[in-house]
Chain A
């Protein structure tokens, strides 16, 4: 709400700038989200089939 109020109070050009910035931000956010989604798909494929069992059995001797 505070953000909307601030935008209403600015002059018209500033409002356009702010909206543009928000659009750019939104599209960058979408892009990042898309990248991450692709990455997560890949991780599902890469994760060991027996990953949970592998974690359970992963025991190391203490070292330094």
Chain B
């Protein structure tokens, strides 16, 4: 039995400027933004079983914070905004549709822009902070953009591996954001001056638990953040952080449909994996001609486009027989299939059309035109500068927003999503109680909210079911409760 594909996206942003210390800069961003509203701490209970929620403390001042994981807050849109490693990270709220995943990912970009402004207001004397939504610095350091999908616990993990490896190897052709120059030893052995994917060359294993070293195509982290007997949270670390709205929609929509198809049909409905998945993924990631092929374990030879066409066939068959209930409804499902079909057709025969959605291709067209105009060699540093500035989140600096890529959401939609949680998952309850009772909330995380009524006792409201806590189920309750005491009494906590 399949389960609704509850989805969440995480982005680690590149940060520069400020004091020059990225951990300090990230902490400034999170604390300054957090203090625009109620600063709600993250509750680590489910991540460190020994931790006690009573240890959670509210921040009372904007102190320089050095330790990783100290600056950590929860927003009224249900997202988490915090410092991870040496980057500011926004983890969007749980959503049920790929199109909503796009919206709340874009809201994260806006949160970062507003955080930069808050820091500038509070720390005016330092250099301004600059944020890039990208995945590598061009010098061999990579940081992630991760996807999470709710999957039935009934699916054996080995089936996830065999079914999903072909997708993660080949989807870079519409997920990649493109970059100039190789950064790893294996990439540098090749001739290509332009890579389709920022992330692909950093992958070294097929399966593993790591996310920062020896990165695996299939990540085995098992933190369900929900009822672990029913669900698995499938954690995907292979993707590029996209600015292209249709690009994000395709990344998430295709993956969600294939996971639902796996739950329904099992792994035998899927094409075979490449016999060397890591090598195939790297090859796809650096080949802007899309002509490279690789051998599958069933001895067929395929390009990434060939493999994607077979996966599209699996997705279509699933939607035809089961409808779109698990991926956000029939309309959403048909839109995903239509966009998926169109992008594969255009990548094969009309690259100019594909460039209105596929970010690496739009970037490549710009770089090629710039090279032609100034007759530049591929090594000219201005090309790397364009490639980096493409991802700059400052609207007057960003290059991606100037090339006419198709959009799905308006400025007003995004502004609303910065403060308003999605209505159809538990993110609604989290966001709304933070909005209404923020001063009485000691901490929150994905599967609970901890209230502090200042009477010496912390009260935890568990939210183990991602599809409860929706607007339908809780908005009347929250509306009629004037105080947090009323709310907890009604909830029986």
A and B are partners in one complex rather than unrelated chains: yes
Chain A interface residues toward B at CB < 8 A: 32, 36-37, 39-40, 42-43, 46-48, 51-52, 54-64
With CB as the reference atom, state the residue of chain A lying closest to B397. Answer: A46
A46-B366 in contact given A58-B138, A60-B141, A64-B237 (Cβ < 8 Å): no
**Closest chain B residue, CB of each to CB of A33:** B369
Our pick among A36, A58, A64 for the contact of B137 (Cβ within 8 Å) is A58
Stretch at the interface among B79-87, B101-109, B296-304, B449-457: B79-87
Residues of A within 8 A of B384 (CB): 55
Select one of A43, A60, A63 contacting B399, CB under 8 A.
Answer: A43
CA distance A54 to B16 in the complex (A): 10
Which one, B138, B143, B369, B373, contacts A55 given CB within 8 A? B138
**Beta-carbon contact of A62 and B85 below 8 Å:** yes
Contact of A42 among B132, B137, B402 (CB under 8 A): B402
> Does B385 lie within 8 Å of A64, measured CB to CB?
no
Q: Is there an interface contact between B396 and A46, defined as CB atoms closer than 8 Å?
A: yes
Using A42-B402, A60-B87 as known contacts, say yes or no to A47 and B212 having CB atoms under 8 A apart.
no
Excluding A58-B14, A62-B142, A63-B85, 14 further A-B contacts by CB distance (< 8 Å) are: A43-B370, A46-B396, A46-B397, A47-B382, A48-B385, A52-B382, A59-B137, A61-B85, A61-B87, A61-B143, A62-B212, A63-B87, A64-B144, A64-B212
Could you jot down 16 A-B contacts, CB within 8 Å? A36-B369, A46-B396, A47-B386, A51-B382, A55-B385, A56-B381, A57-B16, A58-B16, A58-B138, A58-B388, A60-B136, A61-B85, A62-B142, A62-B212, A63-B143, A64-B143
Q: What's the tally of chain B residues with a CB closer than 8 Å to chain A?
A: 39
**Interface: B475 (CB within 8 A):** no
Chain A residues with CB below 8 A from B136, complex form: 60
Which residues from B are CB-within-8-Å of A47?
382, 385-386, 389
CB contacts (< 8 Å) of A55 on chain B: these are 138, 381, 384-385, 388
Smallest CB gap from A29: residue in B? B352
Find chain B residues with CB under 8 A from A63 CB.
Answer: 12, 84-87, 141-144, 212
| Chain B residues, CB < 8 A from A62 | 85, 141-143, 212
What is the interface of chain B, defined by CB distance below 8 A to chain A? 12, 14-16, 22, 84-87, 132, 136-139, 141-144, 146, 211-212, 237, 352, 366, 369-370, 373, 381-382, 384-386, 388-389, 396-397, 399, 402-403
Min CB gap A42→B, angstroms: 7
Residue of B nearest to A43 (CB): B399
A57 and B16 CA atoms in complex are apart in Å by 9
Q: Find chain B residues with CB under 8 A from A43 CB.
A: 366, 370, 386, 399, 402
Name A61's closest neighbour in chain B (CB-CB). B86
Known A39-B403, A43-B370, A63-B85; judge A51-B143 contact (CB<8 A): no
* Distance from A29 Cβ to chain B, minimum over Cβ atoms (Å): 10
Contacts of A37 in B (CB 8 A): 373
A21 to B399, CA, bound (A): 33
CB contacts (< 8 Å) of B211 on chain A: these are: 64
Which residues of chain A come closer than 8 Å to B381, judged between CB atoms?
51-52, 55-56
Contact A64 B12 (CB under 8 A): yes
A residues in contact with B14, CB < 8 Å: 58, 60
Give bound CA distance, A63 to B137, whole Å: 11
- Contact present for A54 and B385 (CB under 8 Å): yes
Tell me the complex Cα distance, A17–B124, Å.
Answer: 64
A52 touches B385 (CB 8 A): yes
Chain B residues lying within 8 Å of A39, measured Cβ to Cβ, are: 366, 402-403
